[in-house]
């Protein structure tokens, strides 16, 4: 075998071993050999290297099958590497530092008007945020193995280019500016895609070959995993589910079209319709100050008009999700994002209608999970995306400061 081929095979074997430890959480060498199809000698060699490099460690546990016997299990070392993720939103930068198993070590959120600041200023504030977040986690910049930046819109992650984003000024060369400042690998990815990859590696998508993520917040985002891989489309901008027209000549959408799904089921759409409704009422609240949280609370307290808007949002969601299930036949659909705060107001009508829109085989083959949302989930997703890149070539990519 040529040296280059040998290196490649070894790299691939190493990746598969590391991956089976990650998926199992705790696994023996024999089980790894069975799972990966590698020889026991190869597993022994590679795991010895991984232990020596501090990526995994051994632990003795009681065997469940033969009493009194102790088995040696292998586990990932959470402190083997750290990454940081940044989510760029229109008025806010959020940060999360995560360890090698994707767990959050520290988070930070800074109000920042991206549209009114230069790209250089954005990079400077992002660097400050990272340093602050690292200090909270008692880590240094040298401890980081990479940085991920998540932004809504059309992003070609391979070239680090953002073609279009709803965030004004956001499509600047932030990746290069940050890479210069931090002197490390910086990855730019669409926010829903990076969250989807992080879910696949460390979240509800772990070990699942075919699944979809739908994120509801200001807009509606989506991530598609087919056969274990993120589907990105011909030009890397697939999965713009929110801008599928669902009502011809319907409500105006932020994208300039009429009747997009987003204009009914996203936070921005619900708020737009609530404004219209409350305007017609005498002594209604101040329209400019209205927030989605208030509207949700009033609906929950029994405002029938507002409840109707949420119900309709859930019904459209059912239509959209049923369409996705029929196209992709996924094992799982994960619905998440700030918008899940509406809870039963939206998901009761959605579940009710899904039964009507799907035949039984389709409905039974897909599990629909509503995942609660935390403020730092986007940033954690961006950091997890970087980890997924590091796992592919850990011996080269992990920084060693000590
Ligand atoms: Zn639209």
242 CA to centre of ligand 1 in angstroms: 6
pLDDT of residue 334: 97
253 CA to centre of ligand 1 in angstroms: 5
275 CA to centre of ligand 1 in angstroms: 19
Which region holds residue 118: left if phi is over 0, alpha if psi is between -120 and 50, else beta?
beta
240 CA to centre of ligand 1 in angstroms: 9
pLDDT of residue 172: 67
Return the structure tokens found at 153.
């819109």
315 CA to centre of ligand 1 in angstroms: 18
Alpha helices in 163-291 (DSSP H): 174-182, 191-202, 262-265, 267-279
320 CA to centre of ligand 1 in angstroms: 14
Return the structure tokens found at 169.
């000024």
Residue 331 has a CB neighbour count (10 Å cut-off) of 16
Burial class (CB in 10 A: 0-12, 13-18, 19+), 128: middle
Mean pLDDT for back-to-back runs of 10 residues, the chain (402 residues): 72 89 92 93 94 92 69 94 94 95 95 89 95 97 96 83 74 86 94 92 91 93 92 74 91 90 94 91 77 95 96 95 93 95 96 93 92 91 92 76 46
25 CA to centre of ligand 1 in angstroms: 41
Domains and CATH numbers, the chain: 3-76 (1.10.10.10), 81-199+377-397 (3.30.420.40), 205-370 (3.30.420.40)
260 CA to centre of ligand 1 in angstroms: 5
235 CA to centre of ligand 1 in angstroms: 19
Q: pLDDT tens-digit profile of 254-312? A: 888 999 999 999 999 999 999 999 988 877 777 778 899 999 999 999 999 999 999 99
237 CA to centre of ligand 1 in angstroms: 15
159 CA to centre of ligand 1 in angstroms: 26
259 CA to centre of ligand 1 in angstroms: 7
209 CA to centre of ligand 1 in angstroms: 30
325 CA to centre of ligand 1 in angstroms: 21
250 CA to centre of ligand 1 in angstroms: 11
336 CA to centre of ligand 1 in angstroms: 19
pLDDT of residue 300: 96
229 CA to centre of ligand 1 in angstroms: 27
Give the position of tokens 């009761």: 348
219 CA to centre of ligand 1 in angstroms: 9
239 CA to centre of ligand 1 in angstroms: 13
For the four alpha carbons of 167, 171, 172 and 176, in that order, the dihedral sign comes to positive
pLDDT of residue 402: 43
27 CA to centre of ligand 1 in angstroms: 47
261 CA to centre of ligand 1 in angstroms: 7
Cα(265)–Cα(300) distance, integer angstroms = 17
371 CA to centre of ligand 1 in angstroms: 24
Full DSSP string of 207-244: T-SSEEEEEESSSEEEEEEETTEE---TTS----GGGS
98 CA to centre of ligand 1 in angstroms: 34
């Amino acid at each position: 075998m040529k040296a280059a081929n040998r290196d490649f095979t070894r790299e691939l074997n190493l990746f598969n071993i590391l991956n089976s430890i990650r998926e199992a959480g705790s696994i023996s060498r024999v089980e790894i050999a069975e799972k990966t199809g590698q020889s026991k000698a190869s597993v022994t060699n590679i795991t010895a290297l991984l232990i020596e490099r501090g990526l995994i460690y051994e632990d003795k546990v009681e065997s469940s099958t033969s009493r009194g016997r102790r088995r040696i299990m292998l586990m990932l070392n959470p402190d083997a590497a750290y990454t940081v993720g940044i989510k760029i939103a229109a008025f806010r930068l959020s940060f999360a530092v995560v360890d090698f198993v994707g767990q959050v070590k520290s988070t930070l959120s800074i109000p920042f008007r991206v549209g009114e600041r230069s790209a250089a200023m954005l990079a400077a504030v992002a660097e400050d945020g990272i340093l602050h977040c690292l200090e909270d986690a008692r880590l240094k910049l040298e401890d980081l193995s990479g940085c991920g930046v998540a932004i809504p819109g059309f992003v070609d992650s391979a070239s680090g280019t953002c073609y279009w984003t709803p965030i004004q000024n956001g499509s600047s060369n932030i990746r290069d500016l940050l890479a210069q400042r931090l002197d490390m690998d910086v990855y730019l990815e669409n926010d829903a895609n990076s969250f989807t990859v992080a879910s696949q590696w460390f979240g509800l998508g772990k070990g699942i070959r075919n699944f979809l993520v739908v994120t509801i917040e200001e807009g509606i985002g989506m991530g598609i995993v087919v056969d274990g891989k993120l589907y990105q489309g011909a030009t890397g901008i697939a999965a713009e589910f929110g801008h599928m027209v669902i009502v011809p000549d319907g409500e105006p959408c932020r994208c300039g079209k009429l009747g997009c799904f987003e204009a009914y089921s996203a936070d921005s759409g619900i708020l737009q319709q609530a404004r219209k409704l409350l305007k017609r009422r005498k002594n209604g609240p101040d329209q400019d100050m209205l927030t989605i949280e208030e509207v949700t609370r009033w609906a929950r307290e029994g405002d029938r008009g507002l409840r109707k808007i949420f119900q309709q949002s859930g019904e459209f969601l059912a239509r959209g999700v049923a369409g996705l299930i029929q196209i992709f036949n996924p094992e799982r659909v994960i619905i998440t994002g700030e918008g899940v705060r509406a809870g039963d107001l939206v998901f009761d009508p959605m579940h009710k209608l899904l039964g009507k829109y799907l035949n039984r085989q389709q409905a039974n083959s897909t599990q629909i999970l509503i995942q609660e949302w935390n403020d730092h989930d986007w940033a954690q997703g961006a950091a997890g995306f970087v980890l997924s890149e590091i796992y592919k070539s850990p011996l080269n990519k992990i920084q060693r400061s000590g």
